[in-house]
Amino acid sequence: MNPRRIAAAAMAAGVAAGLAACGSDDGSSDSGSGGGSSIKIGIKFDQPGLGLKEGSEYTGMDVDVAKYVAKKLGYSDDKIQWVQAPSAQRETLISTGQVKLVVATYSITDERKEKVGFAGPYFIAGQDLLVRSDDTSITGPDSLKGKKLCSVTGSTSAQNVKKKVPGVNLQEFGTYSECVAALASKGVDALTTDNTILAGYAAQDQYKGKLKVVGQPFSEERYGIGLKKGDTDLCTKVTDAVKSMISDGSWQKFVDDNLGPAGFKPGAGNPPTPDACS
């Protein structure tokens, strides 16, 4: 064959491959909301009761919610590709098309809505305290003065407590797991973050009966399902799935299965009414 024809054919093949790759970079192998080969969903990998990866298994309330929504969109469980979604990377994962959805204790805020879209909320959480089960001295944030309180460095939970209880002895660790271990060993008196996260830790086998959630939330966190900003069609379908999950009893089952072992009871506003998509 003429060398020029060979070169032209190779170039054409390369352009076609490049266009195909660009067309599939939407967090899913198809551009629709169902019927494709897979869907990529971002979750937390290190939050027991919410999003936890152990070996090849994924468990938690967020995982169950994600599976339910994916099924409504046309994807069976084996068609879900789970992607780790650390808090600081969630907006980037969505905006760059690395995931289609993020279900990862993702609070809906005006600041985040400038970058991504949200369906939901599917749960109303609140900042609370985790203490040892035999501790009756800590009944809420007002009883923290002089106590050693643990939270994660740079977290909004830590900042909230600094403002609310100026006299608290705040200990900031790198992870909540470190805080929980310190609490169990009496290195600190309490841990603060969202009550759902606290309940997940309290329900772990090594802490069952040893730790408890105080049950006096002092903030409101509206967990939503993150998706690409402006994708009203997908938002509407996900919102419909959330409404169905709440009405058919699945929502209550997911809460009971994942957070019930810690004696956790959903607070006011639950189950929530999802916002309209815009």
Indicate whether 117 and 156 sit together in one domain. Answer: no
Distance (Å, rounded) from C-alpha 70 to C-alpha 271? 20
Higher pLDDT among residues 162 and 227, named by residue = 227
Kindly state the tokens that stand for 10: 């190779």
Indicate whether 105 and 234 sit together in one domain. Answer: yes
Portion of the chain with pLDDT greater than 90, in percent: 65
Distance (Å, rounded) from C-alpha 99 to C-alpha 92? 9
Asked if residue 245 lies in contact with residue 68, where contact means CB atoms within 8 angstroms, the answer is yes
Indicate whether 228 and 111 sit together in one domain. Answer: yes
Asked if residue 147 lies in contact with residue 170, where contact means CB atoms within 8 angstroms, the answer is no
Indicate whether 99 and 226 sit together in one domain. Answer: yes
Instruction: Return left, alpha or beta for 142; rule: phi > 0 is left, psi -120 to 50 is alpha, else beta.
Output: alpha
Q: Please report, for residues 126, 131, 180, the alpha-carbon distance to residue 141 in angstroms, rounded to integers and kept in the order given.
A: 13, 12, 18
Asked if residue 74 lies in contact with residue 34, where contact means CB atoms within 8 angstroms, the answer is yes
Q: 168-219: per-residue pLDDT in tens?
A: 899 988 888 899 999 999 999 999 999 999 999 998 889 989 999 999 898 8
Indicate whether 175 and 229 sit together in one domain. Answer: no
pTM for this structure?
0.79
Indicate whether 104 and 225 sit together in one domain. Answer: yes
Indicate whether 243 and 107 sit together in one domain. Answer: yes
Q: 21-33: per-residue pLDDT in tens?
A: 333 344 554 444 4
Indicate whether 149 and 71 sit together in one domain. Answer: no
For the CA atoms of 205, 144, 182, 128, the dihedral, rounded to the nearest 10 degrees, stands at 40
Higher pLDDT among residues 183 and 163, named by residue = 183
Indicate whether 208 and 225 sit together in one domain. Answer: no
Distance (Å, rounded) from C-alpha 66 to C-alpha 146? 41
Q: 4-58: per-residue pLDDT in tens?
A: 444 444 434 443 333 333 333 445 544 444 556 999 999 999 889 999 999 999 9
- Residue 100 belongs to some domain of the structure: yes
Indicate whether 206 and 247 sit together in one domain. Answer: no
Give how many domains the chain has, as a whole number.
2
Indicate whether 113 and 228 sit together in one domain. Answer: yes
Distance (Å, rounded) from C-alpha 179 to C-alpha 143? 19
* Nearest residue to 237 via CA among 277, 179, 194, 264: 277
Q: Please report, for residues 24, 165, 271, the alpha-carbon distance to residue 62 in angstroms, rounded to integers and kept in the order given.
A: 26, 31, 15
Instruction: Name the one residue in this structure whose structure tokens are 């169902």.
Output: 34
- Residue 254 belongs to some domain of the structure: yes
Structural domain boundaries enclosing 58: 31-125+221-262
